[in-house]
Chains A and B, each alone.
Chain A
Amino acid sequence: MNTAPNRHDPPGLDVIDAQVHLTLDMDESRLLASMDALGITGTILDEFWVLQDQASALPATPLPGGAFRPLSLYAHGAAIRNPQRFKYIQRVERTDPELAAVIRMLGTAPECAAVRILLLSAAERSGFAEGAYDDILAGAQDQRLPVCVLGPDARTLGAVTDRFPRLDLVLDHCGYGRKTPQWEAVLDAANLPRVYLKWSHASRIFGPREHPDAPMAVTRAEFHRAVKTYGADRMLWTSDITEEESAQSWSQLLSFVRDDCALSDAEKAAILGGTARQVFGWPQTNTSTKKLR
């Protein structure tokens, strides 16, 4: 593994990984050691131990009626202990009977960077466009919390951005498309205001299964298209390393952007950290003071 910052790095490159799962194995200490080795300044944590069924993951607390509330026990603690290294995103469930209170509490937690929604079925995807998640979106907009969303139909995102013009929406994992038409719709969504794109799990779309001849060349070309359409100031480098399905290491995923000769230093700085700092309200600081909002 390449463990040293690249000698060609722009001076003072500030790298933020916009999503890594804190797991029972990849815990706070291991994360910090890995980040130090890779030259990663900060990480947005999504605590995820294990999937207990198709709908819910631990840690979570069960609620009446079959609902559940995802928790961030260790991630929140890690962010409190290391405010310059970690913030966390909190997955929320629309069936939570105390959803409004949960989002209000997240909005006043300086360590919480955003809320996250997982749309894991066609019904949930259409529900997202039609308003089923509007309580979450309205609460997040009121609390000035960005919403990271996995799996929306990019063709219908305009309805959401119209209803919530002050909300920052971050599309997880290259928009979670698996086929070319879905990816084209994700690129078209760059025309919508306040929509951001996490560059992660690109191999799911552009990997050997879809492009057996030259997956990396295709991935590089589509990355450049994304930078051109979204702009570097609306793209966030994300490893999601514990869920990476290709053989690429955390270091290689970072190198994909850091060592891209076609990008300017300013574009690298934005994609690798600047955009995340702006979207997640996490200014770079050399002090340990915590932001209150």
Chain B
Amino acid sequence: MIDLPISIDWTRPKPIRYNEDIPHLDGALAGELRMPRCRTCGSEFWPAGPVCPRDFTADLDWVTDPGTGVVNSWVQIHKPYFAGDEVPYVVIQVQLDTGPRLTTSWTGPQLPRIGEPVEVSFRQIADGIALTEFGPPPPDQS
């Protein structure tokens, strides 16, 4: 188990552990971006589901994604929809280098730019629960 940044004051809704998402959520707790992959066509996909969205086969496994990509789109939320929301906050859609698009939280100090390189990180928000986040790569890697 790796040490993740911890947000002890997390009051926003926590992810629901749907069966299809459990490997992904447990991967975040282990510091890994785990993604479903079709063993027939070899493609990773998101969101997770019982069958591959390309060829509809159920022969799936999970792989650890490098967690790199670019900002495909983003939005800044100004209205607090959920209890505990601290606005404004930014939600981005990441185009992973491996193909899938992932909607996730933004960790950068400034607003994102379309096409900006990003890298995955993880934040523990409660016992046994961690979230996947994305932001600019650390300076020594950029």
Contacts and interface: CB of A to CB of B under 8 A. Distances in A.
A108 B75 CA distance: 15
A100 B81 CA distance: 8
A104 B16 contact: no
B83 A101 contact: yes
15 contacts: A62-B18, A63-B16, A64-B16, A97-B13, A98-B13, A98-B82, A100-B83, A101-B13, A101-B81, A101-B82, A101-B83, A104-B79, A104-B81, A105-B81, A108-B79
A108 B13 CA distance: 20
Nearest to A102: B81
Nearest first, the 5 A-B pairs at minimum CB distance are A101-B82, A101-B81, A104-B81, A105-B81, A98-B13
B45 to A, nearest CB: 18
A253 B81 CA distance: 40
- Sorting the interface of chain B by its residue count into under 10, 10 to 19, 20 to 34 or 35 or more gives under 10
Interface string A102-121: 00110010000000000000
A108 B18 CA distance: 28
Nearest to A104: B81
Nearest to B18: A62
Interface in B8-43: 13, 16, 18
Contacts of A98: 13, 82
Nearest to A62: B18
Contacts of A63: 16
A62 to B, nearest CB: 8
Nearest to B82: A101
Interface string A55-66: 000000011100
A249 B20 CA distance: 43
Interface residue tally on A, bucketed by range: 10 to 19
A238 to B, nearest CB: 30
Contacts of A100: 83
Given A62-B18, A97-B13, 13 more contacts: A63-B16, A64-B16, A98-B13, A98-B82, A100-B83, A101-B13, A101-B81, A101-B82, A101-B83, A104-B79, A104-B81, A105-B81, A108-B79
A48 B67 CA distance: 38
Contacts of B83: 100-101
A100 B12 CA distance: 13
A100 B79 CA distance: 13
Contacts of A62: 18
Contacts of A108: 79
Nearest to B17: A64
Interface string B56-82: 000000000000000000000001011
A105 B13 CA distance: 15
A193 to B, nearest CB: 30
A108 B79 CA distance: 9
A105 B77 CA distance: 11
Interface in B82-116: 82-83
Nearest to A100: B83
Contacts of A97: 13
Contacts of B79: 104, 108
A86 to B, nearest CB: 23
B32 to A, nearest CB: 25
Interface centre among A62, A101, A108, by most chain B C-beta atoms within 10 angstroms, is A101
A98 B13 CA distance: 8
Contacts of B81: 101, 104-105
Contacts of B16: 63-64
A100 B16 CA distance: 18
Contacts of A104: 79, 81
B53 to A, nearest CB: 15
